[in-house]
Amino acid sequence: MLTSIWKWLLDPAHWSGPNGIPTRTVEHLGYSLVSLLLAIIIAVPLGIVVGHSGRAKWTVTLANSVRAVPSLGLLFALSMYFGPRIGSNLAFVIPSVIVLILLSAPPILSGTYAGLTEVDPAARDAARGMGMTGTEILRKVELPCALPLLLSGVRSASLQVIATATIAASISLGGLGRFLIDGLARNDYAQMAGGAILVSLLALLVDGLLALLQRAVVSPGLTGKFRDNRPVVTTTAGRDNAGASQNPQDRADDQREALV
């Protein structure tokens, strides 16, 4: 079995033409990226509003409950609805994108909301003490501190979208799921296994790229690098070994200095 899978993956005939692996990979990425970008456009602003204001928290719970809806069943239902109303290939693309958005938006929304709610209150107080407005606190304090969890939500959503985008092939679209559907129809298990391997590799590659992006945009102080690289000092003035004050007033002063 492993030999047949390896032969299928290395067969030059599978790496060219409209049904080749490169073409199917581009199609798969297209569905996934469009869905992920639309989910980010919807979920991130909503998460920011809910996390910053503390209102409408029920939207996070509602979004997470939507994930319980069977993706394949919803895809078929939407296809039957849009099919008679749209005469082009969009009748199948739109349902696929909607399903993938509903799947990817909840982790992004939850990550954004959690990131904002986990911001240290002392940082907000220090920003207010410096005369920052609510918008400035959000832009200069809360969002930078929320980036690690926000991007973690995006990474989680990207993995789910790439893995689930294979269902688009079940309604006659392309993508790497085509190898799974066609392989099942022909009892070609090497093709099915090869398609599954390609989907897994694509998901890992995208997750790795997003991990590099997260490392580049997140402040080192939020990832522990800044703390680990600071010199260790020993004092007796109410400070710990890392030089951080245990006194509440001193901590507020430290936060003001960090913001400046």
Q: Is the pLDDT of residue 229 over 90?
A: no
Distances (CA, A) of 182 to 117, 147, 176, 178: 46, 41, 10, 6
What is the CATH number for 164?
A: 1.10.3720.10
Whole-angstrom Cα distance, residue 108 to residue 150? Answer: 6
Considering the domain architecture, whether residues 136 and 236 belong to the same structural domain is answered as no
- Give the residue from 149, 158, 166 showing the smallest Cα distance to 109: 149
Q: Are residues 95 and 67 in the same domain?
A: yes
Please indicate, yes or no, whether residues 197 and 152 belong to a single structural domain of this protein: yes
Q: DSSP 3-state assignment of 245?
A: strand
Pair 218, 253 in one domain: no
Looking at the structure, do residues 93 and 210 belong to the same domain, yes or no?
yes
**259: nearest Cα among 148, 132, 114, 116:** 132
Q: Is residue 92 part of a domain?
A: yes
Which tens digit of pLDDT belongs to each residue from 118-148?
888 888 888 888 888 888 888 888 898 899 9
Give the residue numbers spanning the domain of 255.
Answer: 230-260
Backbone angles phi, psi at 131, to 5 degrees: 90, 15
CB pairs under 8 A, 24+ apart, for 224-228? none
Between 260 and 203, the more confident residue is 203
pLDDT tens digits, one per residue of 240-255: 444 444 454 554 455 4
Confirm whether 1 is domain-assigned.
Answer: no
The answer to whether residues 237 and 166 belong to one domain is: no
Q: Are 192 and 216 members of one domain?
A: yes
Task: State whether 56 and 148 are in the same domain.
Answer: yes
Distances, alpha carbon 83 to alpha carbons 27, 74, 76, 179, in Å: 21, 14, 10, 24
* pLDDT 10s digits, 154-186: 999 999 999 999 999 988 888 999 999 999 889
Residue 5 maps to a domain? no
Q: Is residue 251 part of a domain?
A: yes
**pLDDT at residue number 112:** 94
**What is the total count of domains within the chain?**
2
| Same domain? 84 vs 150 | yes
Position 224 confidence tier, pLDDT thresholds 50, 70, 90: low
Other CB atoms within 10 A of residue 141 CB: 22
Tell me: the pLDDT tens digits for 15-64? 998 889 999 999 999 999 999 999 999 999 999 999 988 888 999 999 99
Are 204 and 103 found together in one domain?
Answer: yes
Residue 10 lies in a domain: no
Q: What is the pTM of this model?
A: 0.80
Q: Please state the φ and ψ torsions of residue 245, each to the nearest 5 degrees.
A: -75, 140
235 and 192 assigned to the same domain:
no
Do 58 and 161 belong together in one domain? yes
| Domain assignment present for 58 | yes
Range picked from 62-66, 141-145, 206-210, 213-217 for highest mean pLDDT? 206-210
The rounded distance, in Å, linking the Cα atoms of 103 and 81 is 19
- Domain membership of residue 125 (yes or no) is yes
What are the residues whose beta carbons fall under 8 Å from the beta carbon of 170, sequence distance 6 or more? 72, 75, 76, 177, 181
Q: ∠ CA 205-210-212 to the nearest 5 degrees?
A: 100
Q: Is the dihedral of CA 39, 42, 43, 44 positive or negative?
A: positive
